[in-house]
Amino acid sequence: MPQPNGNLYTLLASHFPADGSKVAIQTPEKNYSYDDIDALSAQYANALASLNLPAGSRIAVQVEKSPEALMLYLASLRAGLVYLPLNTAYRDAEVEYFVTDAEPAVLVCDPTRETGMHALAQKTGGARVFTLDSQGAGSLTDAAQAQDPTFDTHASQADDLAAILYTSGTTGRSKGAMLSHGNLSSNALVLHDYWGWSDQDVLLHMLPIFHVHGLFVASHAALLAGASMIWLPKLDIAQALHYLPQSTVMMGVPTYYVRLLDDPGFTRDVCRNMRLFISGSAPLLSDTFSAFEARTGHRILERYGMSETIMLTSNPYHQADGQRIAGTVGPALPGVDLRITNDKDEPLGTGEIGDVQVRGPNVFSGYWRMPEKTREEFTGDGWFRTGDMGSLGGNGLSDNVVTIVGRNKDLIISGGYNVYPKEIELVLDEQPGVLESAVIGVPHPDFGEAVVAVVVPLEGAQPDTEQLRETLRTDLANFKVPKEIRLISALPRNTMGKVQKNVLRQDWSAGS
């Protein structure tokens, strides 16, 4: 019997509406129908296929958000390539690491970075370089336009790689989480049902598309429902207020909801057609949840996930399944096993705080070319260690409700972007006049947490902290650059010599 094609695109396309002229993507300038999506993704797939790359070749993409950028992602799936999205804020030195590690056969970049990308390609093994700009134009689109608008989607197995998502690591070295067609498909199907998607939905899509949240959770859900997306290049509150009355679903990191609430124009009336606001990628403050409900009558649905696993838990959608509770991330999604353990991987009881471990068809297979790291992050019996701390039940909650209380990884989440202090400390420590440094996250009204640093100067040195921040911008994405740097005479350490970041955080808040 022939095996059904396990390619994620085949699954998505099998749910496209019968009426192919239905709008799939609406931008302020132009609409794209479902027929357009199929034809355009076929043209980009044909352009990629004409390069005769072996299946499983990587395609690294660092481009501004546009409908064509989404077509490129779909084309990569269709051509059997492995998609490697990169944050547009990454500087050349950061991109060099990913390219050296993943050895992509194709690099797609903004035209403004083409020269640097060619140089990088030459240095790292000769990837083909194409451009794609914020309007969807560039050498890749030129190549695609000459192609046939039909394409026979590559026959994939469920465990064939579809994407590699780099997540920073505690050692400062990023790891590529390998996600398969099966991982992505299973999660998309679960979220489709759990969040009640239908072809009547209109998703207000303002998230970046180089992370799990905007690229997978949001786009897959809308395409699988045959719904429409209002596709904006980034969060812009004026645009959001303009388009919300036509929308039924919105997804955002908590900063999106904080900024909406900051605008008096964000009213109950603006949300009149909305059925669902979803928040994730960082903790949503209870204050934001309550203020949002008071203003709009909507309870934001908070969910929890990560690059390695896509979505893991969600507050209920249907009232019959329970209330959405502020400060919790809801039960594990159908098909996901979640447990809380002590440091010996033994399950803990109701309400006890421990390590969050998960299993399920959505969980990645490992880190790209890091078998050791992969082994460390999985228990012997196949549970993935998320690095988050949490509890199940307790405090009057049902036993299956998960609360995330912190992280046992030294991670800062700023406006939904992950920042590992080690990466910044390594760069800071190399600067003239710097003996050592420590990077911490402190509460921030807009970003939830902000990255800040303390620096111990070399004896007799007095580094200029603003100059240090400017220098860091050369090699680090802007969102990683500490918002403030303070000088300090010595780092507080415990008896083991470990820097006491909790003390630094307290001292920072106290202003010292």
Interaction site with ligand AMP (CB under 6 A): 167, 212, 280-283, 302, 304-307, 329, 386-388, 404, 407, 413, 418
Give the angle 360-304-390 at the CA atoms, nearest 5°. 90
> Strand 175-180 to strand 366-367: parallel, antiparallel, or no bridges (unpaired)?
antiparallel
Name the segment binding ligand MLC (CB under 6 A); options: 77-85, 343-351, 409-417, 488-496. 409-417
Nearest distance from C-beta of residue 213 to ligand MLC, angstroms = 4
CB 251 within 8 A of CB 211: no
Specify the residue, 46 or 309, whose C-beta has the smaller distance to ligand MLC: 309
> Does residue 467 sit in helix, strand or coil?
helix
If binding is defined by CB under 6 A, does position 168 make contact with ligand MLC? no
If binding is defined by CB under 6 A, does position 188 make contact with ligand MLC? no
Specify the residue, 26 or 168, whose C-beta has the smaller distance to ligand MLC: 168
Specify the residue, 160 or 308, whose C-beta has the smaller distance to ligand MLC: 308
Q: Starting at the earlier edge strand, list the strands of the sheet with 310-314.
A: 31-33, 23-26, 228-231, 202-205, 249-252, 276-279, 301-306, 310-314
Among ligand MLC, ligand AMP, none, residue 207 binds (CB under 5-8 Å by kind): ligand MLC
**φ, ψ dihedrals at 25, nearest 5°:** -135, 125
Among ligand AMP, ligand MLC, none, residue 414 binds (CB under 5-8 Å by kind): ligand MLC
If binding is defined by CB under 6 A, does position 358 make contact with ligand MLC? no
Sign of the CA dihedral 446, 449, 489, 430?
Answer: negative
Specify the residue, 33 or 313, whose C-beta has the smaller distance to ligand AMP: 313
If binding is defined by CB under 6 A, does position 445 make contact with ligand MLC? no
Specify the residue, 101 or 302, whose C-beta has the smaller distance to ligand AMP: 302
If binding is defined by CB under 6 A, does position 411 make contact with ligand MLC? no
Q: How far apart are CA 84 and CA 162, in angstroms?
A: 9
Specify the residue, 276 or 413, whose C-beta has the smaller distance to ligand AMP: 413
> Does residue 314 sit in helix, strand or coil?
strand
List the one residue from 50, 92, 196, 234 that touches ligand MLC (CB under 6 A): 234
Nearest distance from C-beta of residue 301 to ligand AMP, angstroms = 10
Specify the residue, 44 or 317, whose C-beta has the smaller distance to ligand MLC: 317
**For residue 424, what are its two tokens?**
């910044």
Specify the residue, 182 or 305, whose C-beta has the smaller distance to ligand MLC: 305
Distances 14 to 158, 162, 183, 471, 485 between C-alpha atoms, Å: 16, 18, 18, 50, 52
Give the other-Cβ count within 10 Å of 210's Cβ.
23
Counting beta carbons within 10 angstroms of the beta carbon of residue 112, is it exposed (0 to 12), middle (13 to 18) or buried (19 or more)?
Answer: exposed
Specify the residue, 138 or 305, whose C-beta has the smaller distance to ligand AMP: 305
Nearest distance from C-beta of residue 302 to ligand AMP, angstroms = 5
Among ligand AMP, ligand MLC, none, residue 302 binds (CB under 5-8 Å by kind): ligand AMP
Among ligand AMP, ligand MLC, none, residue 136 binds (CB under 5-8 Å by kind): none
What kind and span of H or E run contains 308?
none
Among ligand AMP, ligand MLC, none, residue 164 binds (CB under 5-8 Å by kind): none
Q: Please report, as residue ranges, which positions from 197 to 216 form the binding site for ligand MLC (by CB under 6 A).
A: 207-208, 211-214
Among ligand MLC, ligand AMP, none, residue 415 binds (CB under 5-8 Å by kind): ligand MLC
**For residue 394, what are its two tokens?**
């307790």
- Name the E strands within 159-235: 161-167, 175-180, 202-205, 228-231
If binding is defined by CB under 6 A, does position 291 make contact with ligand MLC? no
**For residue 425, what are its two tokens?**
């400390």
| Residue 237-276 contact track with ligand MLC, rule CB under 6 A, x = bound | ----------------x-x---------------------
DSSP-derived secondary structure letter, 479: G
Specify the residue, 280 or 415, whose C-beta has the smaller distance to ligand AMP: 280
Among ligand AMP, ligand MLC, none, residue 234 binds (CB under 5-8 Å by kind): ligand MLC
Please give the full DSSP string across 140-163, using - where no structure is assigned: HHHHHHTS-S--------TTSEEE
The footprint of ligand MLC on this chain (CB under 6 A) covers a number of residues equal to 22
Per-residue b or e along 176-190, where b marks 16 or more CB atoms closer than 10 Å to that residue's CB: bbbbbbbbbbbbbbb
Q: How far apart are CA 266 and CA 288, in angstroms?
A: 14
Q: Which residues bind ligand MLC (CB under 6 A)?
A: 207-208, 211-214, 234-235, 253, 255, 280-281, 305-307, 414-417, 447, 478-479
